[in-house]
Structure 1
Amino acid sequence: MTDWGASGRIDSYEFLEVDPFTLEETGRTFDVADGEQSITWGYYTDNIATAKIAVVGAPPDGLIRVRHTVRLPDGTVDCRNLATLFVDGFSGSASGGLVKRGDACYSTLIRYTKESLINDFAYREGGLLLDEVRALVESEGGKLRVLPGLDGSRAHTRSDFIERDTNKMTALNILAGWVSWQMGVDPDGYVTVAPYRLPSEKAVSYTFEAGENCTYVAGYDYSTTRGEVVNRVVVYWSREKDEGDGWGPTSRVQVELPDESQCSYRRTGRHQSKLIQLDDPTGDDEMRAIGQRYLDENGAIDYITIQHVGIPGLQVGDVVRYINDSDGSAPVDWLCMVTEIDMKLGHAAMCTSKLKVMR
């Protein structure tokens, strides 16, 4: 495993202007104020990536792309884009001819999180959901990237529409959610669509271990959200009559936390349920996947917060292993999902990250 915490690590950053429609770099670069830049990624947030960037001089006409290069003493070099962002607001100061701005920046998902449908969005039985996702993304000037494993042949089982004035990101999530897809955004500014994968199905992206590679600061903060936990999900759809299309009039499935979970019905003695109603007739396997996803995101109560050097390629949604045998009352060895990363764009790209404990 690469020692990203090695003494002598050098971090450098570039701030580049990007055309908002082609996502190509224009060749223009920006100077920024030292020590005042940060990017935060949140798995459960609307725009996923947000940033504070203090640009010196004239503002960008399009997007800002942040590129990060890490050089280690052993010759390892990692260069990658961190985010491609819209500037949504700024404040600034001017003194002695020096103009400095503090920009509030958001990923290209802001095109959809801050915009609503101005007309009803109709879809037809047999219409491909991927075509409709692409149409919504491109209607706001965005570009779509389909990630590996997605079945583009998935189609609607009935005709209907999404009402005008629905938030466009909500509309995208409605379409994706029917077939267990997940919307996102990548560092290049592309809106992404991918099949949803259970955290338990993901390989471990990185292991944080006390005393190994100096990648994280000793100690961790711990929090719990027991009152918000759901331990049973019922997913269903229904219609007034059997339309003779093979689906019948209704169907439902139920999923629960396993007995060994500390918030399961067996261990707590009570249910905390969520009912999810679907508009389209949907197969039981698909409904089970929708219910399981909701449990994954609402059936865990424990979080830890740690500080560590920037790990190239580590993203929110990744699964990591956290090993610490010295800071708590007992040694811990947990699998966790990364839900938030707050990175300071300075030496070692120091991060404060929130991890959901999966055990």
Structure 2
Amino acid sequence: MSYSGARRPRWRYMLLDATDVPLRAIDGVSGGSCEVAATTRLGGSASLTIDERGQEIDWMSHRVQIIYDPGIRGIDAWPIATMMFTSPKTKSTSTRPVHEVALLSKMAIIDEDSVAQRFSLAAGTPIIPTVVSLIQSTGETRIAVTDSDATLSNPMVWDAAESKLTIINDLLAAAGYWSLWCDGGGQYRVESYIAPADRAVAFTFEAGDVAIHASGWDREQDLSSVPNRYVVVGSGSDSAPALSAEAVNENPDSPFSIQNRGGRVITRSETGVEGSLQVLQALAERRLRDAMSPVAKLSVSHAIVPLNPNDVVDFRPRGHSARATIQRMSYGLTFDGQCSAEWREI
């Protein structure tokens, strides 16, 4: 599918009820911004400026879906984000009132709910069904789940008033899953973690006649703090010592490996992790890869295409070639708006 060439783009805004059922289009949106990110706990935020036209928006329960239509024949519009209204501020003008409204990701629903009492799970508890149950306990039911037979190797306990999002993400880490996230259509995603090198390329940005990225882009490197060893220590008990696993960079082709740093070992560690030895080993390898990923950060502006945080892209401008994961995408909600993206090279 080609996204190059002429466009007649427009933004659309759909009002949803508290269960994400579409109600009607929202007219009178005169501006705003939106950001989705893999690097923040809630995954993004947005703001809208809405001219009062009798839209009858319930700021407490209604939601809004921000939709982008590229105006290209044969390509359907797609949702960028599904958000909740918060902190509306109304200004009077000479013509009609104007609402300036901040928007929160639906992840806030899970984060702002908490357990009322000390929450404990026994060893052997199925992890993914427990995660789904916790999400549903907040009233949310739109969940896409990758099933797993993973169970807890040891008991886990959280104090009263702990955020359900914290509990869910702790459990997902124990299963070797991504942290919980919400896609543009407003569906919660419970998915197995896939290493960047094993993910399919979602989009290729090329130079030339098909280019949809700006010619100016930045690449920043942080070479001094990259570890070449990562240690993950599990949760022990009175009867069994804690398991541990390590990942070591001994790749002769890597400039950050132990041998290419003259034998210098730079270690990062993480303790109190729940999971089997296999889970700990996979997490150590993942953490080492992730700790190395800030080595090269790319800042690129491009035409808007349907991508998600953590997607892998190929970037082939003149004079450079890289594969990267998407960390952040920011949008100005104007007809000529571009995506300002932050990527990390793999």
TM-score, structure 2 normalization: 0.90
Which residue does the alignment assign to 2:213?
216
Correspondence 1:292 to 2:281: no
1:314 is aligned to 307
> Cα–Cα, structure 1 residues 228 and 117, in superposed 2: closer, same or farther, change >3 Å?
farther
Alpha-carbon separation, structure 2, partners of 1:235 and 1:278? 8
Q: Secondary structure at the match of 1:332?
A: coil
Match of residue 260 from structure 2: 267
Distance in structure 1 (CA, Å) of the matches to 2:286 and 2:307: 22
Q: Provide the C-alpha distance between the structure 1 equivalents of 2:68 and 2:11, rounded to a whole number of angstroms.
A: 5
AA aligned to 1:194 is E
Structure 1 residue matching 2:92: 3-state secondary structure: strand
Task: Name the Cα RMSD after superposition.
Answer: 2.1
Q: Which residue of 1 aligns with 2:152?
A: 156
Instruction: Report the Cα offset of residue 124 of structure 1.
Output: 2.2
Q: Structure 1: which 5+ residue stretches go unaligned? A: 243-247, 326-330
Once the two structures are superposed, residues 118-155 of structure 1 have per-residue CA deviations (whole angstroms, 9 ceiling, x without a partner) of: 322221232211222122212222225234xx333222
Is the Cα contact below 8 Å between 1:121 and 1:161 reproduced in 2? Answer: yes
Give the drift of 1:206: 1.0
Pairwise mapping of residues 249-268 of structure 1 onto structure 2 (< 5 A)? 249-259=241-251, 260-268=253-261
Determine if contact 2:134/2:168 at 8 Å carries over to the other structure: yes
Q: Does residue 193 of structure 1 match 2:190? A: yes
Distance 1:162 1:168 in 2: 10
Partner of 1:67: 67
In structure 2, how many angstroms separate the alpha carbons of the residues matched to 1:318 and 1:30? 30
Aligned residues between the structures: 337
One of 25, 34, 39 as aligned partner of 2:34: 39
Q: How does 1:1-359 map to 2 (within 5 A)?
A: 1-2=1-2, 4-7=3-6, 9-20=7-18, 22-25=19-22, 27-34=23-30, 36-57=31-52, 59-61=57-59, 62-72=62-72, 75-147=73-145, 150-182=146-178, 183-237=180-234, 239-242=236-239, 249-259=241-251, 260-269=253-262, 270-280=264-274, 282-300=275-293, 301-311=295-305, 313-325=306-318, 331-358=319-346
Residue type at the aligned position of 1:68: Y
Q: In 2 relative to 1, CA 153–293 (structure 1 residues): closer, same or farther, beyond 3 Å? A: same
Alpha-carbon contact 2:47-2:102 (below 8 Å) kept: yes
Counterpart residue identity of residue 303, structure 2 = V
Give the residue type in structure 2 aligned to 1:271.
V
**TM superposition shift of 1:38:** 2.0
Q: Name the SS for the 2:64 alignment partner.
A: strand
Contact 1:40–1:50 (8 Å) recurs in 2 = yes
| Cα distance in structure 1, aligned partners of 2:309 and 2:231 | 27
SS at 2:166's partner residue?
A: helix
- Structure 2 alignment gaps of length 5 or more: none
Shift of 1:93: 1.8
Structure 1: 4+ residue segments shifted above 6 A? none
**3-state DSSP of counterpart to 1:10:** coil
Identity of aligned residues (%): 18
Tell me, yes or no, if the aligned pair for 1:185 and 1:191 is still in contact at 8 Å: yes
CA distance in 2, matches of 1:160, 1:285: 18
> d(CA) in 1 for partners of 2:5 and 2:123?
57
**Could you list the per-position Cα deviations for residues 221-270 of structure 1 after superposition, in whole angstroms to 9, with x for gaps in the alignment?**
1222335433211112253454xxxxx53422110234333333222343
Q: Quick check: 2:36–2:81 contact (8 Å CA) kept in 1?
A: no
In structure 2, relative to structure 1, the CA distance for the partners of 1:267 and 1:32 (3 Å cut) is farther
- Partner Cα distance (1:216, 1:69) in 2: 18
Task: Report the AA paired with residue 257 of structure 1.
Answer: N
